[in-house]
Structures are given as structure tokens and as C-alpha cells.
Amino acid sequence: MQNQNQLWNKHHSEGNVRKYSLESTEFVKTVLNVVDRNSKILELGCGAGNDSFAFAKAGHNVTATDFSDVAIQQNSEIYKDTKNLFFEVLDLSSDFDLPDNSFDVVYARLSLHYFIDSVTRNIFDEIHRVLKPNGKVCFMCKSVDDSIYGVGDEIEKDMFDRDGHVRHFFSEVYVEDLLKDKFKIETMKSDTDLLYNRESSFIQVIAESIK
């Protein structure tokens, strides 16, 4: 993960993420339509903070996290006057230093597809742990239908290192297996659209925690 951290710190330092993140995303608009008012939201991999800001502006209490300390520093300055929006460094490859049953919603757009299977499963265990009963996890990941699936050095099944950029591509079957016994899937959608100015295929999921 150290190499990936350096990669993303470089991207954020050079503005390569923020230039594509000036507006809230379509996914956050979808999620805003299904979450309760005044929810306590944990965002995993907030990037440039555009969706974090959209949640806070809609009246939610947001803890926005990223493993890039550069992104967190930039966001903390840019959004310093936004109420109910807090930024913290969080490395998803380790257990979360967060209390049990403390969030109504966990939101992760394009941030969970960078880890080997065992780490990914631990991430979803941690998401389940920090969610309140009947809380929602809302996430979006690259899918196995993406045009760059299979490009680069294979790390393990459905995971590749392409010029130093690691991605784990999800299938609907894999999502169902990740969530079984802990979450009830409310919606799961596979689609293709422009992401960061390139056609990409992805899976969007909204699920409810079972406790």
C-alpha cells in the first residue's frame, strides 16, 4: 500500500484528481435520495471531497476519510468553513479506529477496488462493524467488464497492476459473496459511463446491514 499511497499523494499534489472533481457525482445524487435526513455518514476514500461536501450541504454529518494525507490536508483547507464536515486520514487496509455501530451510512465511490481479496473482506467486516443496525453501505467499484480488465500484471483473481496502478475488478457474483450474511442488497447496478474522462464499467451497490 505504501507505493499506492505515494501514487495518490502525487496525483493529489499535481491536481490530477481535483480537476475531474469540481461537481458532485451522479452516484452521490443517487445515494442522497435513499438515505434518511441528518444521517451520520462515513466516507471511505473521499478523494477531492466533492461528494463529502454534497452530503454536508444536504444537512448530513460527514466524516470523510482517505489514506492520502495530501488529499486530507487540501480538503481540510478548502472546506474549512463547511459545517458538519470533518476530514481524517484512514488506511482501509487496516482495522478502522472507529467505534462500533456509530454510522448510519458508509459511502465509498471508487475506493474499495484496490485490495486483495482477504483485505477486501476485512474492509467489509469493518464496514459492518461501524454501521448501526439497518445502516446502509453504498459503494461503487470497477467491474470485470471494464476495458482495462486483464491489462497489466496479475496479482490474484480479477486484480491487476497496470503501470503501478493496482485495481481489483468486481463482479456481481463477487459482490454477493462479500455481502452475504452481513448485508441485504437493496440495489445492484452494472453500467458503463465516463469516469475521469474515460469510458469505464462499474458496479453500484446499496445494501442494508443485518445485525
Within 8 A by CB and 6+ apart from 173, the residues are none
Structural domains in the chain (count): 1
Residues 159-201 have pLDDT tens digits of: 999 988 899 999 999 999 999 999 999 999 999 998 888 899 9
* pTM confidence score: 0.95
Range of the domain at 112: 2-209
Among 9-18, 93-102, 126-135, the least confident range: 9-18
Rg (CA), the chain: 16
The three three-digit cell numbers of residue 206, written as one number: 446499496
Mean pLDDT over 18-33 rounds to 90
Within 8 A by CB and 6+ apart from 19, the residues are none
Residue 110 is part of a domain; what is its CATH number? 3.40.50.150
Mean pLDDT over 20-45 rounds to 94
CA distance 48 to 84: 17
Nearest to 174 by CA among 147, 132, 150, 142: 142
User: Which carries the bigger pLDDT value, residue 109 or residue 6?
Assistant: 109
Average pLDDT, the chain: 94
The three three-digit cell numbers of residue 94, written as one number: 487496516
Residues 63-116 have pLDDT tens digits of: 999 999 999 999 999 999 999 999 999 999 999 999 999 999 999 999 999 999
Q: Tell me: pLDDT of 2 over 70.
A: no
Q: Tell me: pLDDT of 1 over 70.
A: no
Is 57 within 8 Å of 29 (Cβ atoms)? no
Task: Identify the pLDDT of residue 6.
Answer: 84
The three three-digit cell numbers of residue 202, written as one number: 462499474
Task: Identify the pLDDT of residue 3.
Answer: 76
